[in-house]
């Protein structure tokens, strides 16, 4: 699986959009970009994933550059409950039923009132 | 309804003891996992398991063993506990649907070895 690079921490004002970048310059053609977050003392939570196209769901939007070497997770209106560590993970889709996530250090997002 | 549950939530025990952590998922998923999060907050995969294969991270000591009585349960047995085993252990489950592989995590079990 390709490695990812994320800033260690970011601040965001409550109500504003939080844009979390991720670099994955060695990503290969069959690898997906996944985002998870971990709120303090809880288990990680799936947010969104994508391959080439931009994706949006009820939690966030994922913008993937055309060359796929980087992506940005967007929380459109950050709330205090979005304070968490956000992990960007690159993972190949395999034929096996299981896959193992490799978590990096992530970005600690602090939403400030 | 809790999707992935773990018991106990907290476990304090002495070195050398044998303990188990239980995990249950009611999502109907066919694959379950165990992760370890150490004091530095690094989250690392230990095992993934479905009814066809067990994949073990090679860095996991053989004192750790997963036991699956059925598809909905994957328990973690730890023999001869050591101080370095102190960590938060997370169980997770997944079910492949097309290209969707999201994993659902339990609330964690904080293990303290004294």
Confidence at residue A98, expressed as pLDDT on a 0 to 100 scale: 61
Q: For residue range A58-108, what is the model confidence (pLDDT) as tens digits?
A: 999 999 999 999 999 999 999 999 999 999 999 865 555 566 788 889 999
Find the farthest-apart pair of alpha carbons in chain A and give their distance in angstroms, rounded: 45
CA distance A3 to A34: 12
**Contact check, Cβ <8 Å, A38/B43:** yes
B90 touches chain A (CB under 8 A): yes
Interface test with B, best of A40, A43, A100 (most B CBs within 10 A): A43
CA distance A38 to A89: 13
- pLDDT band at A2, cuts 50/70/90? low
- Greater pLDDT, B53 or A13: A13
Indicate the DSSP class of residue B85.
G
Query: A87 phi and psi, to 5 degrees?
Result: -115, 130
Interface test with B, best of A34, A53, A100 (most B CBs within 10 A): A100
**pLDDT reading at B6 higher than 80:** yes
Arithmetic mean of pLDDT, B83-112: 90
Q: For residue range B23-54, what is the model confidence (pLDDT) as tens digits?
A: 999 999 988 999 999 988 889 999 888 876 78
């Amino acid at each position: 699986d390709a490695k990812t690079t994320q800033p260690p921490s970011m601040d965001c004002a409550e109500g504003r959009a939080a844009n979390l970048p991720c670099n994955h310059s060695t990503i290969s053609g069959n690898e997906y970009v996944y985002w998870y977050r971990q709120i303090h003392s809880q288990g990680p939570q799936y947010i969104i994933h994508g391959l080439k196209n931009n994706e949006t769901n009820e939690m966030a939007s994922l913008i993937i550059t055309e060359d796929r070497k980087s992506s940005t997770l967007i929380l459109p209106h950050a709330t205090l409950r979005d304070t968490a560590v956000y992990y960007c993970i690159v993972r190949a889709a395999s034929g096996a039923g299981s896959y193992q996530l490799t978590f990096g250090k992530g970005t600690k997002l602090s939403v400030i009132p | 309804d809790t999707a992935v549950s773990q018991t106990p939530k907290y476990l304090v025990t002495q070195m050398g003891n044998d303990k188990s952590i239980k995990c249950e998922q009611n999502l109907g998923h066919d694959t379950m996992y165990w992760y370890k999060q150490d004091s530095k907050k690094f989250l690392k995969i230990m095992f993934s398991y479905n009814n066809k294969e067990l994949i073990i991270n090679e860095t996991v000591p053989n004192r750790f063993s997963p036991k699956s009585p059925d598809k909905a349960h994957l328990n973690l047995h730890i023999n001869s506990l050591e101080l370095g085993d102190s960590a938060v252990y997370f169980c997770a489950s997944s079910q492949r649907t097309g290209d969707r592989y999201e994993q659902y995590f339990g609330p964690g079990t904080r293990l303290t070895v004294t």
